Amino acid sequence: MSDHALTSVLVVALAAMLAPILAAASARVVRVPNVVLEILLGVLVGPVVLGWVRVDGLVAAISDFGLAMLMFMAGFEIEFQRIRGRPIRLAVLGWLISLAAGMAIGLALFGFGTAAQVIGLALTTTALGTILPMVRDAGALGSPFGGRVLAMGALGEFGPIVVMAFVFSEDEKIHTVLVIALFALIAIAAAAWAARPRDPRLGELVSVTMSTSGQLGVRIVMFVLVLMLWLAATFRLDVLLGAFAAGIVIRLAVNSGPPGEEEIVASKLDGIGFGMLIPFFFVISGVTLDLKAMFASPASLLLIPVFLLLFLLVRGLPTYLLNRRDPELRLGEPRALGLFAAAALPLIVVITNTGVEEGVLTTSTAAAMVTAGVISVMIYPLAALRLYRAAEQNARI
């Protein structure tokens, strides 16, 4: 390991450590999500300001695995018993409406071409991995509202990843469809196997080693995650699809285990993911954010409020309209759901970075959209939480 690579990792780890400290210190004035502070600290230590971090092969690899872990955790959080039926039907319909609207707006802004598809697809994303900790901390995850957040967020993460395979695929579309179908069959088979009752000897071994250096349960999780990443890469699909599928498989596996195992596994995964890997990804996202190119282009600066509004119109509005008459939601909760849906960031980073690498999107436009995504996770979830707490308070009166 080179000296500059180790220095970069050290600085990123420092930024990741400082983010929750700064979030707690600023909480009395304004609640800022950790992810936003991680990105801002990344900008600070990156080439735009201090220049302490250089993204080489090692740093990029850790960041990529952090993103995979974020998508894994998003899949792991999905509880199918709670989203089946009306919640998932409305979530699917809402995302399809968002996809049509996003593509139409992308076409209007950028004309015919891949750039319009990239922008349109990015407008349909929802930062499930970012908003879930907020919903969980608010005690809303176990409510009907929490189930709607899970369903809506799952489509906002899973849908764009699937469509990305078509937008950026170099193969024939029919070939891409067949490959995705084959991968889906493998993932479904793995999920069905995971949901089966576990062999008592394996279950006992997992339970015993969870409190020792063996940690068999965690090692199985890591193996399944890497296996699904490898399968997705082998099929020339986005590895994030494999990470999301791995999260679903592991969720079904722990649900079939003994009582209490789910909580233990979840806490250990939180430690691995949100303790190091996921914040590493967000800090590096800030490091690679090309603010110089954005500030050098007045048109790109004007795109920031435009994208911020479009997140609300393309993703938030359909979600609100479809859920506003849901009898299980309290007054104010449909609006909160729409605001949560409009919070978008991780997949925006992925989609726009891919667009830049493919040469269909300028770095200034990508930076403007990512900046709008940063602002969206700062304001929309906080407003949504206020609406949810007001609804909860009114229900107690």
The contacts of residue 274 (CB under 8 Å, 6+ apart) are: 73, 133
Name the pTM for this structure. 0.83
Which DSSP string do the residues of 238-265 spell out, in sequence order?
A: -HHHHHHHHHHHHHHHHHTS-TTHHHHH
Greater model confidence, 272 or 164: 272
pLDDT mean across residues, the chain: 86
Asked whether residue 187 carries a pLDDT value surpassing 90, the answer given is no
Greater model confidence, 238 or 24: 24
Based on the number of CB atoms within 10 Å of its own CB, is 276 exposed (0-12), middle (13-18) or buried (19 or more)?
Answer: middle
pLDDT by residue (tens digit) across 228-239?
999 988 888 878
Largest CA distance in the chain: 64
Q: Kindly state the average pLDDT of the residues 37-57.
A: 88
pLDDT by residue (tens digit) across 245-279?
899 888 888 877 777 777 788 888 888 888 889 99
Greater model confidence, 359 or 322: 322
pLDDT at res. 97: 96
Q: Is the Cα dihedral 305, 238, 128, 43 positive or negative?
A: negative
pLDDT at res. 1: 61
Question: For a pLDDT cut of 90, what percent of the chain falls above it?
Answer: 28
Q: How many CA atoms lie within 13 A of 74 on its CB side?
A: 32
Residues 353 and 348: their CA atoms lie apart, in Å, by 8
- State CA 317 to chain mean position distance: 20
Q: Kindly state the average pLDDT of the residues 359-364.
A: 86
pLDDT by residue (tens digit) across 79-97?
777 788 888 999 999 999 9
